[in-house]
Amino acid sequence: MFLVIATTTAVFAEGLLETIDQEVTSIYKKSKDTVVKVHAQRQLQIGNLPSSSSHRVGTGFFIDPDGHLLTAATVVEDADNCWIEWRGQKINARVIGRDPQTNLALLKIEPAAGSPTPFLPQGNSDELRVGSMIITIGFPYDLPSAPVVGFVSGIDIHCGNHVFATSHIRAGCRLSPGQGGGPMLNARGEVIGIAVAAHTDDQCYALPINAAHKICADILQFGQPQYTWVGLGVSERQLAINPTVSNQWQVFIQQIYSNTPAAAAGFRDGDTLLTITSNEVHRSADVLNTMFCHRVGDTVEFTVLRGGQEQKLLLVVVARPPQESFGAQASRQLGPLKPPGQWLTVVPASHEH
């Protein structure tokens, strides 16, 4: 009996692996024509020495039929000239805008008349869960493109002391130099993130595609990303350690900066945040993610718990000021994550909003 069960299990596992292999191969074949190799060149002049050039290579992917593509901001940082390799051709690319905080850059090529660029179908990154299978595509070490298969390990707002501007997808797969800026796909072949950072060993981080949409829309409409500011410092505390309780955390107001929308709206130290607009708040990440989606001039409604009673507070968000203008606490700088190559950097955000 034991032999029969073991044999059946082995046959099932073999069939499952074959199915996964076929699915990954199929997704890669369908997607690879939308993924391009991005080149960036910069001329360097040091004193009276002869000029030299710096050349970086990364990965990018088309997001619409008009030739717009995404890559990592560090691939094209300070570049004098950018181009892509695609379908055996070198095509000039223009940098529309960059966002160092999320390590995202929006580029554009001019497609041939009557030849729209192929692009990846876009999924909903909010649907990802720990354990979801993902596939990244990139050009490792300037070699031909290849898929890398992994699984979602977490949805993180920070890595150690390194705080992201919004929650990132942490996946169990290794990224090599040259793969920065590549698409992260779900099991349906939809892009759900862009590879922007590597952690240690076999871990990487991707900016969710929903967040990338917001950054791209900001760049196209305003010329640069819009990061908002209300003037609050928040912290979180654990209420209980009980596996039967779903919401064991709460976020409270730790600091209110003077002459800010939060001060004018009437926030008080110790207020417990319950909701921002219609989004419930249980962790600091909820605050970061909700405010990340807002733009300068938006009216935002906060619900707080004060003295056992709920209160509604309205404010209009403003542009985030330079960090050095609002104190040492808010201006603390966090170092970059350990890079696997020169394409990678992470510019962190602070906890203030």
**Arithmetic mean of pLDDT, 123-128:** 92
Q: No. of H helices and E strands in the chain? A: 5, 21
The answer to whether domain 228-319 has CATH 2.30.42.10 is yes
Structure token pair of residue 280: 């419930």
- Return the CA Rg of the chain: 23
Q: Which CATH number fits domain 125-222: 2.40.37.20, 1.20.1250.20, 2.40.10.10, 2.40.30.10?
A: 2.40.10.10
Tens digits of per-residue pLDDT, 296-344? 999 999 999 999 999 999 999 999 887 645 443 343 322 233 333 322 2
Burial of 115 (0-12, 13-18, 19+ CB in 10 A): exposed
Which 3 state secondary structure label does DSSP give 194?
Answer: strand
Tens digits of per-residue pLDDT, 36-78? 999 999 887 676 666 667 889 999 999 999 999 999 999 999 8
Tens digits of per-residue pLDDT, 211-227? 999 999 999 999 999 99
CATH homologous superfamily of 32-108 equals Trypsin-like serine proteases (2.40.10.10)
Cα–Cα distance between 292 and 220 in angstroms, integer? 17
- Looking at per-residue pLDDT, the higher value among 87 and 175 belongs to 87
Cα–Cα distance between 176 and 174 in angstroms, integer? 7
Give ranges for CATH 2.30.42.10 in the chain.
Answer: 228-319
Residue 211: Cβ within 10 Å count: 24
Name the average pLDDT for the chain.
Answer: 84
What is each CA distance from 249 to 220, 253, 286, in whole angstroms?
Answer: 37, 14, 11
Tens digits of per-residue pLDDT, 147-172? 999 999 999 998 877 889 999 999 99
Give ranges for CATH 2.40.10.10 in the chain.
Answer: 32-108, 125-222
pLDDT at 62: 97
Structure token pair of residue 343: 């394409």
pLDDT at 97: 96
Amino acid identity, residue 274? L
